[in-house]
Structure 1
Amino acid sequence: MQPRSVEFRFLAEPTHVNFGGKVHGGMVMKWLDQAAYACAARWSGLYCVTVSVGTIRFRRPILVGHLVELEAKVVHTGSTSMHIFVQVRSGDSKSGELAETNHCIITFVALDEQGNTAKVPVWQPETPEDKFLEQYAIQMKQFSQTVEQQMLDFYQEQQLDT
């Protein structure tokens, strides 16, 4: 069975930060997507595209020189989709003590060589944490679908009123 997780580790560089000396939120979002893509591609063995990103919450800043660690792992699979939980930790590289800065769920779909959706290997939770994260991913998917439908309904109503 293929590995279900990947880890990235690196130092936050001066080119990653804003004028306040903290890493740009957009840079963190790029790292999240890259780590999640590497995880999804590794799991599926295929090219993958991002479908959605949910619940990015910035809890603590990442500073220049901090050690940054991203862990991405498969927490739920559909027939062609993979839900990847990505956790970001950072802290002083000398002490090695890292604290969570943020986490999120990113959903990918695997594509075959013709660009059509392709089946992915099934992932099954084993530990209590696995089961919790799978339920978290399923709930986030359901919530996302509900609010997306509300948005579509709203705009359809707006078009009918004009």
Structure 2
Amino acid sequence: MMQNKYKTVEESQVRISELMLPSHSNFNGKIHGGYILSLLDQIAFACASKHSGVYCVTASVDTVDFLKPIEIGELVTMKASVNYVGRSSMVIGIRVEAENIQTGAVKHCNSSHITMVAKDEKGKAVQVPGLILKTDNDIRRFAQSIKRKEIKIKDNEEFQATDFNSEEYLHIVEKYKVKIER
């Protein structure tokens, strides 16, 4: 099924640009975050499918950091790369920039990491090509993805082991802007 056992980061990179229209805006006149999330999912799919050569599904949206608002009329460019590969999974890193097409000013608006899984026609996870890391940036992104995954596993294990019905966690809740009425 896999033609190449390894691919470079560059071979799977995807870049899309789209002009932001009034129909993409929220009630505050900025581009709706949900619209950007939809575009992020589409480019992650394209990048992962390009790397794996098969259909891919979204396994998790690991991080989405909205850094700056996007305005109507700005040209949004998304750049996606495979940052990490496992057996059948890939972490796709996406950078979102918005350009004011009148002034040429570009701002970094969003960074995201989405885990995609390669599937066959029957929906079974399939092995993906390995990743050839050529630059220090490629190595850094791969290492960051490993660390992010380790932290996610550790945090999930700790969360699952926590008994939130216990009275010992009441003091945590009471530190916040809540009023407990029993």
Q: TM-score scaled by structure 1?
A: 0.90
Asked whether the equivalents of residues 63 and 114 of structure 2 are also in contact (C-alpha less than 8 Å), the reply is: no
1:146 aligns with 2:150: no
Higher Cα Rg, which structure: 2
Residue 108 of structure 1 aligns with an amino acid whose one-letter code is M
Deviation of residue 118 (structure 1)? 0.2
Structure 2: gaps spanning 5 or more residues: 1-6, 167-182
Matches within 5 A, 1:91-110: 91-110=99-118
Deviation of residue 131 (structure 1)? 1.0
Asked whether the equivalents of residues 48 and 92 of structure 2 are also in contact (C-alpha less than 8 Å), the reply is: yes
Residue of structure 1 equivalent to 2:128: 120
1:47 aligns with 2:76: no
Residue of structure 2 equivalent to 1:31: 39
Distance in 2, Cα, partners of 1:55 & 1:26: 14
Distance in 2, Cα, partners of 1:78 & 1:51: 13
Q: CA distance change for structure 1 residues 158 and 38 in 2, over 3 Å: closer, same or farther?
A: same
Deviation of residue 95 (structure 1)? 3.3
Distance in 2, Cα, partners of 1:144 & 1:158: 19
Deviation of residue 86 (structure 1)? 0.4
Residue 61 of structure 1 aligns with an amino acid whose one-letter code is P
Residue 113 of structure 2 aligns with an amino acid whose one-letter code is I
Q: TM-score scaled by structure 2?
A: 0.81
CA-to-aligned-CA distance 1:29-64 (integer Å, 9 cap, x gap)? 111111111100111111111111122111110000
Q: CA distance change for structure 1 residues 65 and 153 in 2, over 3 Å: closer, same or farther?
A: same
Structure 1: gaps spanning 5 or more residues: none
Q: CA distance change for structure 1 residues 91 and 79 in 2, over 3 Å: closer, same or farther?
A: same
Residue 49 of structure 2 aligns with an amino acid whose one-letter code is A
Distance in 1, Cα, partners of 2:85 & 2:49: 13
Specify which of 8, 19, 38 is matched with residue 11 of structure 1: 19
Residue of structure 2 equivalent to 1:83: 91
Residue 26 of structure 1 aligns with an amino acid whose one-letter code is G
User: Identity over aligned residues, as a percent?
Assistant: 35
CA-to-aligned-CA distance 1:62-104 (integer Å, 9 cap, x gap)? 0000000000100111111111100000020233332210111
Asked whether the equivalents of residues 62 and 91 of structure 1 are also in contact (C-alpha less than 8 Å), the reply is: no
Residue 142 of structure 1 aligns with an amino acid whose one-letter code is E
